[in-house]
Amino acid sequence: MLIKLLKLDNLLLSLIILFISTLLTYSEEVFIEIDNPRFSEKGLSDKTYEIKAEKGLKSDNELKLFTIEGKFKTVKDGKWIYLEADKGNYSQDNNFIELQENIIFYTDDGEKLSSNYATFDIQNDIIELAENVSHESTRGLILSDSSIITNNFNKITYFGNVESLINTSE
C-alpha cells in the first residue's frame, strides 16, 4: 500500500513539473536570429530609404536590431541623410523604428545630430530625438533635452534646456 502511494505521489509530482515546464515554454518569446537584416523602400513618391543591421532577432512583427546603419533621401532637395545606432527595434506593422545608444544622423555637408534615444516614424518622416541631443553644423552647435525633425529633414524643433553656440567665423 505504501509503495502504491509513493508511486502515485511520484506520478502526481511528475505531472505538476511537466505542466509548469510547458507553461514556461509557451510563455517565452521565440526569436529567430537573422544575419544582416535589411529593409528598404523606393516608391513612386521619391521616398527612398534603406536600413540594415549586423544582426536581428525576429519575433512576430518586431525585429530587434544590432549595429544599425541606414540612409534616407530627402524628397525636396535629394540630400542623403545617414544613420548609425548601436541597437533598435523595428515594427513592420507600423513602419516605425526605435533606436537606442550612440545614435547619429549625419549628412555629406557635415551636419550631425546625435542622441542616446530616438524614434523614426518612417511613413510620416518624423524623427524624435531624446537624451543628450546634439546638433553640429558649420554654423555652430545646439544642445537640447529633445528635438523633433519633420518636413523631410528641413525643420528641427528643440525642447527643454536648449543651448546654442553660433560660429561667427564664416
153 confidence band (pLDDT: 50, 70, 90):
confident
What are the pLDDT digits (tens) for 58-93? 887 788 999 999 988 776 677 788 999 999 998 878
Task: Specify the 3-state DSSP secondary structure of 153.
Answer: coil
Provide CB contacts within 8 A for 168, sequence distance 6+. none
Q: Which CATH number fits domain 32-166: 2.60.450.10, 1.10.10.10, 1.10.287.610, 3.10.620.30?
A: 2.60.450.10
Spatial distance between the Cα atoms of 102 and 86, rounded to a whole number of angstroms: 6
Task: Specify the 3-state DSSP secondary structure of 160.
Answer: coil
Q: How many CA atoms lie within 13 A of 1 on its CB side?
A: 0
The pTM for the full model equals 0.75
Residues 81 and 72: beta-carbon distance below 8 Å: yes
The DSSP output letter for 141 is E
